[in-house]
Amino acid sequence: MSDQAVARLAGINVGAPARPLPSADFGLIGLAVMGQNLILNVADHGFTVCAYNRTTSKVDRFLDNEAKGKSIVGAHSVEEFCAKLKRPRRIMLLVMAGKPVDDFIESLLPHLEQGDIIIDGGNSHFPDSNRRTKYLKEKGIRFVGSGVSGGEEGARYGPSLMPGGNEEAWPHIKDIFQSIAAKSDGEACCDWVGDEGAGHFVKMVHNGIEYGDMQLICEAYDIMKRGLGMPVKEIADVFAKWNKGVLDSFLIEITRDVLYFNDNDGTPLVEKILDKAGQKGTGKWTAINALDLGMPVTLIGEAVFARCLSAIKDERIRASSLLDGPTPEFTGDKQAFIDDLEQALYASKIISYAQGFMLIQEAAREYKWKLNKPSIALMWRGGCIIRSVFLKDITNAYRSNPDLENLLFDDFFKAAIKKAQQGWRNVVSKGALWGIPTPAFSTALSFYDGYRTRDLPANLLQAQRDYFGAHTFRIKPECANENYPEGKDIHVNWTGRGGDVSASTYVV
């Protein structure tokens, strides 16, 4: 009997090319800059990585250049890619959110086995991750939706990673994820977030807070520029000083660098940039979700609207010549006012993060997720865009009391707000008097004042709703009686001409 016949009897397809032996610990699909940098990061930490891209010429180019000499292999088809991965396969997608993620999942499925893991590291909307977790669990595949923050540099040298989904996957990816993540005080800025789309939800809130932080910084810049009449170099010096104190953060640091940067003619480049802000939608997602869940995440909402207002530049140009307003004129101690501005920025940031965690807590209740609040704060301490020393205090607050109802109830932040309050109010009032818009500063202060108010004027609002629409109201417990019982939906015939039938029940 020939050797070929023996091979066929043994079940070996002699004519087929040899199937590669599994050699890679981790596989990544998507060789844009983020994907390439993350692969290099994983390889630097002792893991062998398999790289694949739909345009296979990118694989060859990557292997011949940036990946040369590193523990990185390539694949030219999905089948070859899966064959090169050790089991359980750990596959990360860094592709455009939406349909491309679903398309790649479907192309992978025929080549996967029970227990394999697919990780979506793009900016996917969390409902998509909810759906994919359930869909793949039915097929025996463990899905992880992971937020990845830190940009190109973070991907290369240490991002913030926010994984959620099928928790059975976590023990299998923990070693890689915590090895490549940024470190803060020796702790990895990565931990398991929660179920289904929780990882992408937390990343969405992260991005919303990022919108708020950036808007607050822009308002501080505008107040110094137009309110105090300071040149850009002097404003940059202020941000440099702030970056050594309570505001020490990545965004303050890059603001300093941007303001110091001059064009070839020696003038600040920032002053030549068109004031029309772009956005990719994650801040809007956060604001919409806050409305869906009934959470007053006002600062992120105002930050999104501020970008929308900036976008109607032509209309604003026309308005600037038609509509009157005050001309800023500052008198007094400039340094004292700058100190107030620092405190206003700090207090407003505290409000933004408090609102963000309120939304996260409500999402956990609504979607029945188990979320790890101390770990979420830790994940944001390094590697990500909103990283700051301030997040260490948030981590400590939630570690001291994991059931903390609101960040503002923590002793540290209560004291910080108390110290900042006078300067905060001074800045917001000056902005109004000068005609300089401060939507983020103002809404932060309004939220704080509303949150600390025992009795808001919503009692009148409820009466109005019942008057015109019979929408009912509830009586205060201390005012309850036989005619107005506590805890009941009540409708009153306010005019004597209406009926006694209510339109809908009372909703808080």
Amino acid at 476: K
97 belongs to an annotated ligand binding site? yes
204 belongs to an annotated ligand binding site? no
260 belongs to an annotated ligand binding site? no
The rounded distance, in Å, linking the Cα atoms of 205 and 212 is 11
CA angle (20, 21, 25) in 5-degree steps: 115
228 belongs to an annotated ligand binding site? no
365 belongs to an annotated ligand binding site? no
Active-site annotation holds for 368: no
7 belongs to an annotated ligand binding site? no
316 belongs to an annotated ligand binding site? no
496 belongs to an annotated ligand binding site? no
33 belongs to an annotated ligand binding site? yes
- The DSSP code sequence of 175-229 is HHHHHHS-EETTEESB---EETTHHHHHHHHHHHHHHHHHHHHHHHHHIIIIIS-
What is the β-pairing status of strands 117-120 and 90-93?
A: parallel
5 belongs to an annotated ligand binding site? no
508 belongs to an annotated ligand binding site? no
Which residue stretches of 408-500 are H helix? Answer: 411-434, 439-451, 458-469
Q: Of 121, 133, 130, whose CA–CA distance to 97 is shortest?
A: 121
Q: Which of 203, 284, 373, 430 is catalytic?
A: 203
31 belongs to an annotated ligand binding site? yes
The rounded distance, in Å, linking the Cα atoms of 485 and 474 is 8
Q: Which of 80, 210, 219, 302 is catalytic?
A: 210
Residue 51: beta bridge partners?
A: 28, 74
Active-site annotation holds for 244: no
> Given strand 49-52, what is the order of strands in its sheet?
72-74, 49-52, 26-29, 90-93, 117-120, 142-149, 160-165, 194-195
274 belongs to an annotated ligand binding site? no
34 belongs to an annotated ligand binding site? yes
The rounded distance, in Å, linking the Cα atoms of 113 and 131 is 20
Q: Contact 50/73 with Cβ under 8 angstroms?
A: yes
169 belongs to an annotated ligand binding site? no
Q: What token pair was written down for 291?
A: 């409305």
Q: Contact 430/227 with Cβ under 8 angstroms?
A: yes
The rounded distance, in Å, linking the Cα atoms of 485 and 132 is 47
471 belongs to an annotated ligand binding site? yes
Q: CB neighbours (10 Å) of residue 462? A: 16
End-to-end CA distance of the chain: 83
Which residue stretches of 312-408 are H helix? Answer: 313-322, 334-367, 373-379, 390-400
54 belongs to an annotated ligand binding site? yes
The residue written with tokens 């973070």 in the block is 154
151 belongs to an annotated ligand binding site? yes
The rounded distance, in Å, linking the Cα atoms of 26 and 40 is 12
SS3 301: helix
130 belongs to an annotated ligand binding site? no
43 belongs to an annotated ligand binding site? no
Binding residues for substrate: 123, 149-151, 206-207, 211, 280, 307, 465, 471
Binding residues: 30-35, 53-55, 95-97, 123, 149-151, 206-207, 211, 280, 307, 465, 471
Catalytic center residues: 203, 210
Binding residues for NADP(+): 30-35, 53-55, 95-97, 123
